Structure 1
Amino acid sequence: MGTGSFCELWACLALCALMLLRTQGAGVGITYLESAVAKGAVCLDGSAPAYHFDKGFGSGINNWLVHMEGGGWCTDIATCSERKNTQKGSSKFMVKQFGFSGILGSKQKSNPDFFNWNRIKIRYCDGSSFTGDIEAVNPANKLFFRGARVWHAIIDDLLAKGMRNAQNAILSGCSAGGLASILHCDEFRQLLPSTAKVKCVADAGYFIHGKDISGGSFIESFFGKVVATHGSAKNLPASCTSRTRPELCFFPQYVVPHMQTPIFIINAAYDSWQIKNILAPSAVDRKKEWKNCKLDLKKCSSAQLQTVQAFRQQVVNAVTPLHNSTSRGLFLDSCYTHCQAGGADTWSGDKSPTVGNTVHSSVIPLYPL
């Protein structure tokens, strides 16, 4: 093969790849917020925070949807040190192009309400649901616990890029990002114009203060370590921390009753992450009796299924603050899954979960801006 034909082949492949990215709704470039580094607003490893921004147009030009990425938490020096060498702890490892789909999708057919809004995905690289802020950096591990500063720096940058003129705005997120959308919801409202209509949407972020299979609450201890390691207490909603211990304010059921900003929750009653990590965490299931059951509920024994059903009741009890409210909404389905608004299949596909003949993509319009 000659040089010319070889170059033509690679050009063709590059063009095909680009077309594939566009077909899949990908290709939203990354923005590294280098100016934030001087403010100490950095990822776990000290690198600049980052986000992806697809600008709005037409009727959505002054509407903003800010979505925070999820990805769990780190609880101590060891787990945070491991995390800083991944995209969940460093922007150095993040992909340069990110495909937007689901609630962030750019196609009118599959995302009719938000397709032409300013859509932003904030990358998650701090391990604390954007709540940490410790000034000192130990030279031995060189870890930066600055999640709250990262959040503020990116929001400030978006305000400067036009969000300060928002007419409608939604703060959303998935998993740890969904929790972050709850914890930062009222503050987000305060940073936007008083004339703007602002609401929050948390997807799979309603982590419950549940009992595990031993009768204890492993998740309370887990979240307590996150709060202590990252210095999160001062950045959790004061409306909650003024009433109870800071680590309990990582649980939405204690935060939501005192929120001022309207919020909508999308969650599974049989949330797969919560069953694996709140009901039957590996640290409690030392004999691994729940290993197969957690991977596939069809492999659960009858006794285990009863326990899973009891956990569902814990979830139902925990969402009580969302009942009978004009400013709080809930879409609670019975899927064994975790995060449902970000994917095309679960957000607006033919097989999307349905509750009362209502699918995910129809939920938010029922909760009008």
Structure 2
Amino acid sequence: MNFLSVFGFIGLVVLKLVQGMENGNVSDMQYWGRGFYNRPLLVGLTLINGAAAKGAVCLDGSLPGYHFHRGYGSGSNSWLIQLEGGGWCGNIRNCIYSKRSRHGSSLHMEKQIPFVGILSNKAVENPDFFNWNRIKVRYCDGASFSGDSQHEAAGLYFRGQRIWHAAMEDLMSKGMRYAKQALLSGCSAGGLASILHCDEFRELFPRTTRVKCLSDAGLFLDTIDVSGRRSLRNLFGGVVTLQGVKKNLPRSCTSRFNPILCFFPQRLIASVRTPLFLLNAAYDTWQIQASLAPPSADYRWNWNDCRKNYARCSQPQLKYLQGFRNQMLGVVRGFSRSHQNGLFINSCFAHCQAERQDTWFAHDSPHIGNRGIAQSVGNWFFDRVGVQAIGCPYPCDRTCHNLVFN
């Protein structure tokens, strides 16, 4: 099985959470057992019944779905859409594997999921968005909600773009059309999707509606891996070609570049007209594991320990990772010149910080200066203050919640 192509890694391989640099290790189970985070809201799965008639189906042909918790009070006319992540599938074998999982079939999705972090319904955990209408759209197409094709012989449906439209139409019919403010967000592959669909989301609403987008851990870079090749470009090439993504990519990009290159956010963010916030770890752990130093590129297994635990990286390896951080900062330089855009790039070994409670908003959550992630996103969305936050390079940030793997 291709290491790069399936499922991402959120919650699947993380065994330990390292808080800061010297605070010791705390397992996820122990952490979530603490009183402050006990008993998150569980929200049931809603299938989009009218989707099949539009051909908007998961990889296996099952109905797509979402989890929806109604807003109330001051948030009753505010809407937050979170697009789920979960990797990509760029060849028939891996897509067949995916269609037998929750990332390819609603038959395998959890019937209830906890709403935490940016989806939490508690003001002490999510001060700006806790009483909004909050929706998690499930990911089951393997192409960041952007494909439109099928492979009849393998029984595969690549209908991500149709799923996107079906979900938005269904939510509009349930009250989203009356939104006074709306935020499209997403994590990982969902973070890429939030960039791809940001302007489409804006067009759903009147100009009087405040509409913005948030990409969490979606800034995937077209970078050279440790073997001198481009592992992620190879994966994205398979996704774009197999799933018919080209026709749904911005023409402003595809008119100048190969469509495969236009699946990378670095070539998209400059053309997004809607206000966009990029939340990313400078040493994104998914990209380290699957793009920079994947096992397929690490012929002598020199990166095995570093890939799993940043504390075991050698000085040359850290220098290489600093180069990756520098590349990321170069990519966002022009983006950050627009005052409508927001930026929070902390020097942590992390991935998807908005959907974890400990990193989104907690007494010891990551900070740049004197502001954490939730406060920074809220300040930007409500135009309280501009946010262009970039943390100092490793190892100076002692507020990180760094991920460690076994």
**Same-fold call, TM > 0.5?**
yes
What's the counterpart of residue 155 of structure 1? Answer: 168
- What percentage of residue pairs aligned between the two structures are identical? 51
2:62 is equivalent to residue 47 of structure 1: yes
What's the counterpart of residue 129 of structure 2? Answer: 114
CA distance in 2, matches of 1:103, 1:29: 17
> Secondary structure in 1 aligned to 2:218?
coil
CA distance in 2, matches of 1:362, 1:30: 29
Shift of 1:315: 1.5
Structure 1 range deviating more: 30-39 or 176-185: 30-39
Residue pair 1:165, 1:193 contacting (<8 A) in 2 also: no
Shift of 1:24: 2.1
What's the counterpart of residue 15 of structure 1? Answer: none
What's the counterpart of residue 76 of structure 1? Answer: 91
User: Any stretches of 5+ residues in structure 1 without a counterpart?
Assistant: 1-19
User: Any stretches of 5+ residues in structure 2 without a counterpart?
Assistant: 1-34, 383-406
2:288 is equivalent to residue 275 of structure 1: yes
Residue pair 2:212, 2:381 contacting (<8 A) in 1 also: no
> Secondary structure in 2 aligned to 1:201?
strand
Give per-residue Cα distances to partners, 1:127-161, cap 9 Å, x unaligned: 00000101x441x3100010110111000000111
Shift of 1:175: 0.3
Residue pair 2:104, 2:141 contacting (<8 A) in 1 also: yes
What's the counterpart of residue 187 of structure 2? Answer: 174
Structure 1 range deviating more: 76-85 or 238-247: 238-247
What's the counterpart of residue 102 of structure 1? Answer: 117
> Secondary structure in 2 aligned to 1:27?
strand
Find 2:264's aligned residue among 251, 255, 258: 251
> Secondary structure in 1 aligned to 2:236?
helix
What's the counterpart of residue 225 of structure 2? Answer: 212
- 1:275 maps to amino acid: I
What's the counterpart of residue 309 of structure 1? Answer: 322
Higher relative contact order (CA 8 A, sep 6+): 2
Residue pair 2:295, 2:301 contacting (<8 A) in 1 also: yes
2:359 is equivalent to residue 346 of structure 1: yes
> Secondary structure in 1 aligned to 2:186?
strand
What's the counterpart of residue 10 of structure 1? Answer: none
Which structure features the higher share of strand residues?
2
CA distance in 1, matches of 2:239, 2:40: 35
> Secondary structure in 2 aligned to 1:367?
helix
What's the counterpart of residue 67 of structure 1? Answer: 82
TM-score of the aligned structures, taking structure 2 as reference length: 0.83
CA distance in 1, matches of 2:342, 2:86: 24
Structure 1 range deviating more: 118-127 or 344-353: 344-353
CA distance in 2, matches of 1:137, 1:283: 27
Residue pair 1:166, 1:193 contacting (<8 A) in 2 also: no
> Secondary structure in 2 aligned to 1:119?
strand
Shift of 1:163: 0.7
Shift of 1:98: 1.1
CA distance in 2, matches of 1:98, 1:294: 29
Shift of 1:291: 1.2
Residue pair 1:239, 1:259 contacting (<8 A) in 2 also: no
CA distance in 2, matches of 1:368, 1:84: 36
Residue pair 2:41, 2:121 contacting (<8 A) in 1 also: no
Find 1:198's aligned residue among 199, 211, 225: 211
Shift of 1:23: 5.0
What's the counterpart of residue 159 of structure 2? Answer: 146
TM-score of the aligned structures, taking structure 1 as reference length: 0.91
Structure 1 range deviating more: 358-367 or 121-130: 358-367
Find 2:41's aligned residue among 26, 32, 38: 26
- 1:129 maps to amino acid: S
Residue pair 1:88, 1:127 contacting (<8 A) in 2 also: yes
- Could you say what the CA RMSD is over the residues aligned between the two structures, in angstroms? 1.4
Is the radius of gyration larger for structure 1 or structure 2? 1
What's the counterpart of residue 35 of structure 1? Answer: 50
